[in-house]
Amino acid sequence: MMEKEILSFKYQLEKKEPRLGSGGITRGASVHDFPASTGIAGVSMRLEPGGMRELHWHANAAEWAYVLSGHCRTTIIHPDGSSYIDTFGPGDTWYFPKGYGHSIQGIGPGECHFILIFDNGDFSEDHTFSITDFIRSVPKEIAAQNLGLSLEEVDLLPKKEVYFALGDVPDDASCISSPRPIPELSSKHRYPLDAQQPRRIPGGGTQRLVTSTEFPISTTMSGSVIELQPGALREMHWHPNADEWQYYISGTAEMTVFLAEGKAVTEHFETGDVGYVPMGAGHYIKNTGEDVCRILIGFNNGHYEAIDLSEWLATNPEALLQGNFGISKNLAEKFPSQKLFIKPK
C-alpha cells in the first residue's frame, strides 16, 4: 500500500493571480487552493478610496478581518433589523456572523489593505451572495415590484454581479461622520486589536489576542498578532479546540507541523505567505531572519486554548520525566520549570 502523501502547510497567497475589479483587488485561498487548510479560508483584499466590496452575504462562513494599512468603512444588517456603520484603520478587527448582509468601502487617503479570515475551509469569495447578482437573477417584474421601480428603470441596473464598484469617497456630509452619543474605542462589530497592551516576553516578542471574551459578537473566531524578535521561538505547542491560520505580515520564519507517528512537515515563510495548522497538531514558529517577524493568526473558535510544551513538562514530577525519557536526574532538572511561551534567541 502506498503511503499517503503529506500535504504542504504553506501557501504563497500574495503571489496568486488576483481577481481585479473597479476599485478593488482580491486574492483568496480556500481548501481548493490550499488543500491542508480544511477548517479555515482566507482572503487578502485591497480597496482604493471609494472602492467598495458590494453589498453581500456569506451563507457558509463567518468573517473575521484585520486591517493591515489604510482605512475603510463597513455597513451591516442584523436579522432583527438593526444596522451598524463603523470605520476601521490599521490594527482594527471586525467580525460579521454567517449570513449577515454587509459591505466594505475604502475611505482613503490611499489604498486600504485587509485580511479576511473565514471559519470554513470550503469558503470561496467566488460563491458569495451579492446584491446585484441577486436582483438580476429574478424576473424583471419581480425586481421592479420589490424595488418600486419601472421595468425601464430596472433595465438601468447592472446586468451581472458587480463584486467591486467604485463610488464617491465618503466625506463629512455622509453618515461616516454621524456623531455617536458616546464615543467608544470598540463597538459591536469593531475591536481595536493593536490598541491592546500586549503580552510581552523580554527579548522574545509580544502577543495581542482577541477572543469572544473581549469581543462578544465574535462567537466562532478569535485572532492574534504575534511579533517575534530575531531568533526567537514561539515554543512547541498545540491548540486543542481550533485550527490555526497564519498570515505572515513581515519577516521570515520556520514552522514544523507534527502529525504523529513520526510524521512532520517543516515549512519556511516570508512576507505574504499563509500557514496552516490542523486542530491538535503540535507546532512551533521560529523567526529565521534579522528583523522582527510579525504574524496574524486566526482560529476557528471564539475561545482561545493552547497547551505549551514547557508548561506541560513543568507540571509533571521530575521522576516521571526521568522515566519517560530514560534520562538522569541532572538532565531532567534542566527541563523548563515554568511556561516559556516565547523563548528568546
Q: Which one is catalytic: 27, 46, 56, 189?
A: 56
Phi, psi (rounded to 5 degrees) for 170: -55, 140
Looking at the DSSP bridge assignments, the partners of residue 191 are 93
Catalytic residue check, 17 = no
Looking at the DSSP bridge assignments, the partners of residue 245 are 276, 298
- SS3 category, 39: coil
Q: Is 145:105 a contact under the CB 8 Å cutoff?
A: no
Peptide bond into 109 cis (omega under 30): yes
Catalytic residue check, 58 = yes
Q: Which one is catalytic: 27, 71, 102, 294?
A: 102
Catalytic residue check, 239 = no
Catalytic residue check, 113 = no
Q: Which one is catalytic: 63, 227, 235, 244?
A: 63
Distance of CA 19 to the CA centre of its chain: 19
Between CA 283 and CA 226 the distance in angstroms is: 15
All three cell numbers of 266: 517543516
Catalytic residue check, 190 = no
Q: Is 268:217 a contact under the CB 8 Å cutoff?
A: no
Across 92-111, b (16+ Cβ under 10 Å) vs e yields: bbbbbbbebbbbbbbbbeeb
Residue 153 neighbours by CB distance under 10 Å: 12
Looking at the DSSP bridge assignments, the partners of residue 172 are none
Between CA 100 and CA 71 the distance in angstroms is: 22
Catalytic residue check, 63 = yes
Q: Which one is catalytic: 48, 54, 125, 161?
A: 125
Q: Which one is catalytic: 27, 46, 48, 53?
A: 53
All three cell numbers of 130: 451579492
Q: Which one is catalytic: 58, 71, 73, 283?
A: 58
CA contacts within 13 A on the Cβ side of 338: 0
Active site residues per annotation = 53, 56, 58, 63, 102, 125
